[in-house]
Structure 1
Amino acid sequence: MASPSPIPELSRNRLPTLFEVLSRRTLPPVDLFSFYIYMRDQQRSVDYLDFWLDVAQHMSLCRHYVRELRRSVMIGTPDGERSQSKRSSAILESIGDMDHPAAGPSMLKTEKERDQDAQMSAFLREEVASGVPLGHSPHGSTGSQQSALRQTTSMERQPRPSFMSSPMDLTSDSNSPAHTVARQDIRASAEKILFTFLLPGAEREIILPHSITQEITISIEERGRDDPEVFDAAKDYVFQAMERDAFPGFLRMKALGNLVPPSMMMRLIVGLLSMFAGFWVAFILIFLNYSRHIRLWLILPFTIGVYSLASHQYALDPILALIGLSEYTFMSFSRIREPYVRTLLNKRALMVLLVTILVDAGVCVLFILVPGKRL
C-alpha cells in the first residue's frame, strides 16, 4: 500500500523551504519541477538533485518492503513466519505504520520518524546478517555491478514520474512503488546509487567529502549493507549544499521574478535597440523641426525600450505576472499557483509598471515637448 501523497500547503504565508519543495508540498512556480529545471539549466548541478531523489526513492522502497513484511507477520501468513526470526518479528511489530511519506534530511525528522527509520535500518541489517538471499553475485564483484545496473537500467533512464506529464502534476507520490518490493530490489537500488553517483569515475559522479564516499562504499560492498542509514551522511551533505548554494537563487528567480536568463537577454537586446531607435528618430525630428504631434510617435519605441529594459533589470515581465504566468524554460510558461508567490509577484509587477511609466513619461515629455530647431 502506497503512502499518502503530500498535499501542498495553500495557507502558507511565506516562501517555501527547500524541504517543502523536495517533498512536493509546493505549487508552481516554486515546485519540484521548476527546481529541477533550475538545477539543470541554471546551476548545472542536477546530479545532486537526482542523487537526493534516488536516495528518497530508496528510502521509500525500504519502507514499502518493511510495511509489507510487517503486515504479513501481523496477520500470521506462512511467508511472514518463514522469512522472519522471532527477533525480526519483534522489530517489525515495534516499527509502526511508517505513514510519513517524505524522506527528508536527518535534522528535520521528528523523534518518531528517527526512531522508526532507525528500527527499519536495524531490521534490514538483521536480514543481511541472518543470510537472507539477495539474488545477486558477491559484493564488489564485476558481476554484481553489472547485475545491479541491468536491473535498474529501465528505471534509471525513464523520466521521473513527477515530470512525465506536466509541471502541474503534483499530487502523485512518485517515490511509492506500484508493485510488491522484493529484497533484491532494495539491494539493486543501493548499488545503483553507489555506481551512478558515488564511485570515482561514475557516470554522474557528485563531489562529496572522501570520508563520506569511502564509508558508503565500504558499507555496501564489504559489509553488504543496503539500509537507508547508509546514505544519511551523503544525503544531509547534499541537502545542505543545495540549501546554501542553489535554493536562494531559485527563490530569487521564481518568487521575485518570472523570466529565465535567455528571455532576460532577449529583452535586453530589444530594449537597447528600441532605445537607440527612439533617440535616433527623436534627434532627427527635433533638428528637422517636425511638429509635436508627429513626435508623439516616439512613445512607441521609448515605451518598448523602457519596458524591456525594466523587465531585464528586475527579471520580471509585469504583464505576464499580472495575468498569472511564469516562465520555466524559454518561451514556455506555467500558471502561478502558489498563493504567496502570486501576491508577491503582483506587487513587484505593479512596482515595475510604475517605474516603467515614470521613466517612459519623462523621456517622452523631454523629446516631444522640447522646441524643434532646423539645422
Structure 2
Amino acid sequence: MSFTGAFPPHLEAARNRLPTLFEVLSRRTLAPVDLFSFYIYMRDQQRSVDYLDFWLDVSQHMSLCRHYVRELRRSVLIETPDPEKTGSKRSSAILESFGDMGEAGPSMHAGGDEKNQDQRLSAFLRSETGTGHSPQSSVGSHPQESKSSERPQLSSFMSTPEHLTDSNSPSHTVARADIRASAEKILYTYLLPGAEREIVLPQGIVTDVTNNIEEYGRDDPEVFDAAKDYTFQAMERDAFPGFLRSKALGNLVPPSLMLRLIFGLLSLFGAFWTAFALIFLNYSRHTRCWLILPFTVGVYALASQQYALDPIMALAGYSEYTFMSFARIREPFVRQLLNKRALMVLGVTILIVTALVILFVFVPGKRL
C-alpha cells in the first residue's frame, strides 16, 4: 500500500524548502521525506513509533467523526426535502451549517474557519450524546450496523482517511457506535497506565481524556486535542530534526553506515599495508599506481559513512529507507540538496585519494 498519495506537480515546484512536520503528516510531501519514510524512521531509529501511531489514530478518529456527520447530513437532506413541513428545520439547519469538511489536522495548525468547524462538529456530537439521539434512525437502519458495537480496527497508518467515502452503500455508513469504539480504542491502547502501547503524556492530560470518555461519555474529537497537540510538539521537537538530517541531507540508514565504516577501515588498512610493501620492495612507480583502487574504495566508504550519504546513489536519484531497500527521490528540493552534497562528497573523496596516491607513488623506493 502506498502512503505517499498523489501530489500535484505545481505544489512540488512551489516548495523551495524543506517540508514541515505538518506537511509530512498531512501527506503533502514525496519520498524520501514522506509519511511512510517518517514512519520507518520513527520505528527503526527513533524507537518511538507509538507516538506517531497515536497522532494518526486521533486524526483518523476526527475523519471518522467528519464522515459520520457527512453521512448524517446527506441522510437528513434526502429524507427531509422540505424541513418546513416535516418539522426538522432545526436539525437540517445544524447539519447544513457544516458544509464540506476537509481532512483532519492538528488543532494548532487549523485556520479560523477550520477550527470553528471542528468546534461545531464536537459540539454537535456532544449534544447527540446528551440528548440520547440515535444516529441509526437518521442514517437508515442496515443489517451491517449490528457489528458496530464491536471495536473497529482503525490503525491510521494502514487505513487512511481516503478510505472513508461518501458512498451511499451501507458498507460505508458510519454508526455512532463506531465513533464511541474508536475513542475507547485510542484510550485503552495508548493512554491508560499499563496500556499495550502506552505513551508518556502529562498526567493532567491523561486524566482529562480518561474522565471525559469514561465518566462523561464523550467521544468527540476535542477530547483528544490537548494530547494530540502535545504529541505533535514532541515529535516536532525531538524526532523531526533528526528525520530531516537523515533523509534530506543523507540517504543511508545506520546499518549501512556501520557496514561502510568497517569496510572502509579494512580497505584503508589493506591500502596502506600494500603501499608500504611496494615501497620497501622497491617496486616501480608504474606498479604503485594501482594503489588508487584500494585507496578509492576505502576513502569513498569512509566519506559516505561520515556524511551519511552515498554520492553515486544520490546522483542516480535513490535513497535507502531500510537496509538494502531503496526508493527514488521524488521531492524536488531534497533531490537538489542531495545532488549538491553528493558532488561535495565526491570532491572530498577525489582530493584525499589524489593526495594519498601522489604520496605513495612518488616517494622513493628502498628495498630492505
* TM-score computed with the length of structure 1 as normaliser: 0.87
Match of 2:113 in 1: 112
Once the two structures are superposed, residues 80-139 of structure 1 have per-residue CA deviations (whole angstroms, 9 ceiling, x without a partner) of 99xx975443321212211x22x221121011101111111111001000113589xxxx
Q: What's the CA shift for 1:312?
A: 0.3
**Distance in 2 between the 1:202 and 1:244 partners?**
25
How many residue pairs align between the two structures?
A: 345
Equivalence for 2:244: 251
Render the CA deviation track for 1:249-293: whole Å, top value 9, x for unaligned: 000000000000000110000100000000011011101111111
The answer for the alignment partner of 1:142 in structure 2 is none
Q: Is the 8 A contact 1:18 1:243 kept in 2?
A: yes
Q: Which amino acid aligns with 2:7?
A: I
Aligned twin of 2:265: 272
Say whether the 8 Å CA contact 1:6–1:173 is kept in structure 2. no
- Who is 1:127 aligned against? 128
Task: Quote the residue 2:7 is aligned against.
Answer: 7
The 1:364–1:295 alpha-carbon spacing in structure 2 relative to 1, beyond 3 Å, is same
Equivalence for 1:344: 337
Q: Structure 1 residue 160 and structure 2 residue 163: aligned?
A: no
Task: Show CA shifts across 1:150-206 (max 9, x none).
Answer: 522x444x97146xxxxxxxxx83566871111111011000000000000000000
Distance 1:58 1:155, change over 3 A: closer
> In structure 2, the residue corresponding to 1:41 is in which secondary structure?
helix
2:158 aligned partner, one-letter code: R
Residue pair 2:148, 2:178 contacting (<8 A) in 1 also: no
The answer for unaligned runs of 5 or more in structure 1 is 136-146, 163-171
Match among 19, 27, 43 for residue 40 of structure 1: 43
Q: Equivalent residue of 2:44, what SS?
A: helix
SS at match of 2:162: coil
Cα distance in structure 2, aligned partners of 1:194 and 1:177: 27
- 1:295-314 paired onto structure 2 within 5 Å: 295-314=288-307
Residues 236 and 56 of structure 1: CA distance in aligned 2, closer, same or farther (over 3 Å)? same
- Does the aligned pair in 2 maintain the 1:54–1:193 contact within 8 Å? yes
Residue 162 of structure 2 corresponds to 173
The one-letter code sitting in structure 2 at the alignment partner of 1:24 is R
Give 1:16-31 correspondences, 5 Å limit: 16-31=19-34
Q: 1:63 aligns with which of 58, 62, 66?
A: 66
Matched, 1:282 2:275: yes
Contact 1:287 1:372 in 2 (8 A): yes
Residues 106 and 131 of structure 1: is their aligned pair in 2 closer, same or farther, counting only changes over 3 Å?
A: same
Deviations for 1:16-48, whole angstroms, at most 9, x for unmatched residues? 000000010000000000000000000000000
- Paired residue for 2:217? 224
- Out of 69-78 and 19-28, give the one that drifted further: 69-78
- Alignment root-mean-square deviation, CA: 2.4
- Determine the structure 1 residue equivalent to 2:177: 184
| Cα-to-partner distance string for 1:215-236 (whole Å, 9 max, x where unaligned) | 0000000100000000000000
CA 1:195–1:115: 2 relative to 1, 3 Å: same
1:148, 1:191 within 8 Å by CA — same for their partners in 2? Answer: no
- Determine the structure 2 residue equivalent to 1:242: 235
Contact 1:149 1:192 (C-alpha < 8 Å) held by counterparts? no
Are 1:76 and 2:69 matched, yes or no?
Answer: no
What is the percent sequence identity of the aligned residues? Answer: 72
Q: Deviations over 1:290-337 (max 9, x none)?
A: 111111111111000000000000000000000000000000000000
Name the TM-score, length of structure 2 as normaliser.
0.88
Aligned residue among 196, 203, 220 for 2:196: 203
Cα contact 2:67–2:164 (8 A) shared by 1: no
Mapped to 1, the partners of 2:341 and 2:45 lie a distance apart of 23
Is 1:361 matched with 2:363?
no
Counterparts of 2:216 and 2:207, CA distance in 1: 12
